[in-house]
Amino acid sequence: MQNNQPSQRNHLRAMLHALPKIDIHRHMEGSLRLATLAEIAHEHGLDIENYDVESLRPLVQMVDDEPNFQTFLAKFTLLRKFYNSRESVMRIAYEAVADCAHDNVKYLELRFNPVAQAYHQGFSFEDVADWVIAAVKQAEAEFDIIVRLIVQLGRHEPQFARQLAELAVAHKDDGVVALDLAGDEEHYSAAKFVDVLRWAKLQGLHITAHAGECRNCPAENIIEAVEVLHADRIGHGVQAISNPQAIALLRERHITLEMCPTSNIQTAAVERITRHPLLEYHRQGIPVTINTDDPSVSNITLTDEYLVAIRDIGISFDDLKMMILNAAQAAFLPPAERAALVAQFRRELAGIQYP
């Protein structure tokens, strides 16, 4: 029996890879290919001791690190150094979409923080947005994938919030659909972003917010994100499980959770993968979705996350298909486009059965 386990796992992985997928919580800054980083570091002489992939890996990936939220976030300090030219920004954006397409992701919402690509390099936020949009449109044209963009606001950088919100609104016709509040939730509150996010929503943008993401990020932050920030979706929301009021609010308002199991383990939000609340939320009627968060930092694909969900968290194949449909129904698209996406995935998933 043991001899069959690797082949069974490989069969399951192949089947999950072939599934049409949706990722609505993926950061461009956490989606960089290590080989590309090595090339950029070598070409531009970045201040890094070694330029090869394996030397870079522990600097930008969670490899042998103890699970910790701040350790996870620290990887992005170095990653900001690689956006050192127009070509680098466009290449990284293009490859992020291409990698999704290779994993059979059919609909992607890719979030990016113009501050990460611009501020330390002397670029304007407007130029960075133009480069990202152009690269994403090129990738869309070359691969079988639909991509929408989300502009991310960093909790530790409120001074840029209004400028980024205005930038996002200005690019609504270029595929920018939402604002995301993200970053160090442990040390920075959402208070300074309330007016900006409410203004952006009045301009027609959707709002998503990381809340209840880490062990020390209370469930009250989730309640605040829904009731004060008027968030349409919640990034992670792991800590809702500890607060009946948060659970009830998510269920009653039908707020979709963008969950990322491997990331939640690496940030120590969840102690063990078998205790991840994904399945419990699903059973309680909260619309949950499975996403990658930062695939290069976590060294995963969305196929890997689906495998973890089935093998380690215990969701069924039918549960997985429902969670993919949840993502389609929560897509930040106009109603007619969202309905078409849901119909497409309902049709395609109906024809796929677990053997």
- Per residue in 21-69, pLDDT (tens digit) is 999 999 999 999 999 988 888 776 666 666 678 888 888 889 989 999 9
CATH of the domain at 176: 3.20.20.140
Which residue out of 213, 224, 258, 305 is catalytically annotated? 213
Residue whose tokens read 């980024």: 164
Asked, for residue 10, whether it belongs to a domain, the answer is no
5 lies in some domain:
no
Query: What is the rounded CA–CA span in Å between residue 231 and residue 222?
Result: 9
Q: CA distances (Å), 89 to each of 93, 113, 126, 168, 170, in order?
A: 6, 12, 13, 18, 20
Active site residue 213: yes
The alpha-helical segments, DSSP class H, found in 186-294 are: 194-202, 220-227, 244-253, 261-266, 278-283
**Residue 355 belongs to a domain:** no
In a domain, 320, yes or no: yes
* 189 within domain boundaries: yes
Q: Say how many domains are in the chain.
A: 1
Quote the pLDDT of residue 46. Answer: 64
Q: Is residue 271 scored above 60 in pLDDT?
A: yes
* Partners of residue 301 on adjacent β-strands: none
Residue 330 falls inside a structural domain: yes
User: Helix count (H) and strand count (E) of the chain?
Assistant: 17, 8
Q: Is residue 86 part of a domain?
A: yes
In a domain, residue 353? The reply is no
Per the structure, the complete domain to which residue 199 belongs is given by 18-346
Report the pLDDT averaged over residues 179-187: 95
pLDDT number for residue 1:
39
What is the rounded CA–CA span in Å between residue 209 and residue 249?
15
Q: Is the pLDDT of residue 2 over 50?
A: no
